[in-house]
Amino acid sequence: MLKICWVGDCMKGYNHSMLRYHEARQAATAGKEDYFLLGIAGLFVLLFLLMFIV
């Protein structure tokens, strides 16, 4: 039980630090990278759909 609580606290801290990192990165890039990532995600989705259809 103690170990589960410790892992939960660890994950909570990790998520919090990741959120802070993401906020800082977003402020630094001002949303330029987001379109790039969306484009890559769109390509992967298209490839996946093509493989699914064929």
For the chain, percent of residues with pLDDT exceeding 70: 41
Q: Which two tokens stand for residue 27?
A: 């402020």
Query: Looking at this protein, which amino acid is placed at residue 44?
Result: F
In sequence order, which residues have a C-beta less than 8 Å from that of residue 6 and are 6 or more positions away?
Answer: none
Q: Residue 26: CB partners within 8 Å, gap ≥ 6? A: 34
For residues 5 and 22, which has the higher predicted lDDT (pLDDT)? 22
pLDDT digits (tens, 9 = 90+) for 37-47: 778 888 898 88
Residues for the chain: how many in total? 54
* 3-state DSSP percent of the chain in helix, strand and coil, to 5: 95, 0, 5
Q: Give pTM, 2 decimals.
A: 0.35
Q: Is the pLDDT of residue 20 over 80?
A: no
Among 5, 27, 23, smallest CA distance to 15 is for: 23
